[in-house]
Amino acid sequence: MKLLTVLCNDDINYKSDKVSFIKLNSKDINHIIKFCNSKYFLFIKNYDNTVEGFLDKIINKCNEEFDACYIDYSIEVNGSIRHLSEDDYDLSRKPNVGCYLWSYIFNRKKLEEFINSEKKEDDLKRIFDKVTCINEIMYHHVPSKRLINDFIYPDEHDEVKLKNVIYVGDFCNGRFNGYITWIKNIGRCFSNDYEIVIMADKIYGPTKEAFEKFFKVVIRREDTNYLIDRLLVTYSTFFYPNNIICMDESYMFIHGNMADYKSTRHFTRDIYTRYIAVSKVAMEKAKGYFKTDTISYIHNPIKLSDDQIKPHLKLVSAQRECEVKKTDRIRKIATILDEENIPYTWNLFSDANVPDKVLGGLIYRSPIENTIPYIKDADYYVQLSDSEAYSYSVLEAIYLNTKIVVTPLECYDEMNMDKDTSIVIPFEYFEDQNKEKLRSLVLKMYKNIDKQYENNLPDDFNEYRDLFIK
């Protein structure tokens, strides 16, 4: 009589006169039990590298008496490992060992009782009245009406093989921080030469768009097993899901100063091949925090793409808030700058209330006495009013050799603006149906950013002087 019969989905490289192996490709469990004269039956989903020493521990425990056993290395709850109670066990989570396999052991007699019983629910409860623990592996008393059908005959999941995977969970959404920049630079530096996949539970918006420039983005499915050569996870993600099967190597990257997180995060499992900090100081701060004693560091890579290396457009406007001054025209130009991914800073000195939605580079500032340093530093002074008699702000810009963007008001003809660098925007271009015409002038503004304004000041003000001496 064999001590143990292992029913598995694939060949297992293990030899013992105490164990027999059967590929479980039939649901005729009655036939298998009658055919195999074993004390215990182990149902196991095996992958290429089943946890080392796992079957040795199973065989040692099979010398004892128990009815049934569900085996699992660890469960992490809020960052800490603990046993699960009947109340908080989640049946949607398939049992697993070391993220490589699921497994149940049944005493032969109890398994036969269950299969032959008409009151399967009651017998199932009796089967799990007594549960044993295998050394260093956690055990759970699992109540479930569906248990045996679900785990003896698990659903056949698709298996997808991937090479290099960065698993982000749903951690990245809406974030703009060093971790996101690190991923994008991984893409810029290596995605042309290596097959790298971003795997997420949920991903959307700007983060998704940023990643798709460099990577294939995969949304993780619960009904799929992912067989991965190399897995990269950040410390902020904590751990990877059970259906991510890391076949060869797994890396945890430490992107923060762990001393800042000790009060809220506790890493109690050593499940990664290597722990890598992104700087020497991050490595030093992480010592004693993770279960492993070995932490190394690799400095963050960096590569800037051509679309990032653009001239920065500096604009300034100063005006009171009223219907004539048309602040909404400023927002229409800012919208186009955002759509074209043009880096810009637009200082708007105004008494206007800041709108709910402030566009990327548009900065609302309270009025100040002296805006001249801002005008001198800007590429363009922008005045988009419906009416001006003779704008002092535009005159200041001309004096300071700052280029001009204005509406077609007659007063500007008297100011001798440099026609080569100044941009005049017709009123009708601000109507919605003419947005593309407005866009063409905005792009011209950006194209001419380096052109120098030729100072053509109006005539001097001797006549004003004469008024005071007569």
Domain boundaries, the chain: 2-152, 158-297, 310-447
pTM: 0.55
Q: What is the pLDDT of residues 332-387, one digit of tens each?
A: 999 999 999 899 999 999 887 776 666 778 888 888 889 999 999 999 999 998 88
CA distance 207 to 216: 13
Where is pLDDT greater, at 307 or 406? 406
CA distance 420 to 372: 23
Res. 39 pLDDT band, cuts 50 70 90: confident
Q: Which residues face 43 on adjacent strands?
A: 7, 104
What is the chain's mean pLDDT, rounded?
Answer: 76
pLDDT at 411 exceeding the cut of 90:
no
Q: How far is CA 433 from each of CA 261, 378, 423, 429, 437, rounded to the nearest angstrom?
A: 53, 30, 20, 8, 9
pLDDT at 132 exceeding the cut of 50:
no
User: Among 164-178, 328-342, 422-436, where is mean pLDDT lowest?
Assistant: 164-178
- The pLDDT assigned to 189 comes to 92
- The pLDDT assigned to 320 comes to 79
- Residue 237: Cβ-neighbour burial (10 angstroms; 0-12, 13-18, 19+): buried
Q: Which CATH class is domain 310-447?
A: alpha beta
- The pLDDT assigned to 313 comes to 95
Topology of the domain comprising 158-297: Rossmann fold (3.40.50)
Res. 136 pLDDT band, cuts 50 70 90: very low
Residues whose CB falls within 8 Å of the CB of residue 47, separated by 6 or more in sequence, listed in order: 10, 100, 101, 227, 245, 247
User: Among 257-266, 370-379, 438-447, where is mean pLDDT lowest?
Assistant: 257-266
* Amino acid at site 133: C
User: What is the pLDDT averaged over residues 424-445?
Assistant: 94
- The pLDDT assigned to 346 comes to 94
Q: What share of the chain is helix, strand, coil (3-state, %, to 5)?
A: 30, 25, 45
Where is pLDDT greater, at 457 or 46? 457
| Largest Cα span, the chain | 129
Kindly report the CA angle at 92 between 88 and 98, in degrees rounded to 5?
Answer: 85
pLDDT at 153 exceeding the cut of 80:
no
The answer to whether 158-297 and 310-447 have equal CATH topology is: yes
Mark 1-29 as b/e (b = at least 16 C-beta within 10 Å).
ebbbbbbbbeebeeeeeebbbeebeeeeb
- The pLDDT assigned to 94 comes to 38
- The pLDDT assigned to 142 comes to 31
pLDDT at 217 exceeding the cut of 90:
yes
pLDDT at 295 exceeding the cut of 50:
yes
- The pLDDT assigned to 195 comes to 92
CA distance 126 to 107: 12
pLDDT at 77 exceeding the cut of 80:
no
Helical segments of 276-412, H only: 280-286, 327-339, 372-377, 392-399
Q: Which residues face 275 on adjacent strands?
A: 252, 295
User: What is the pLDDT averaged over residues 317-337?
Assistant: 86
User: What is the pLDDT averaged over residues 45-61?
Assistant: 61
User: Among 82-96, 110-124, 180-194, 442-456, where is mean pLDDT lowest?
Assistant: 82-96
Give the range with max mean pLDDT: 30-34, 127-131, 168-172. Answer: 168-172
pLDDT at 48 exceeding the cut of 60:
no
pLDDT at 438 exceeding the cut of 80:
yes
Res. 223 pLDDT band, cuts 50 70 90: confident
pLDDT at 155 exceeding the cut of 60:
no
CA distance 52 to 4: 18
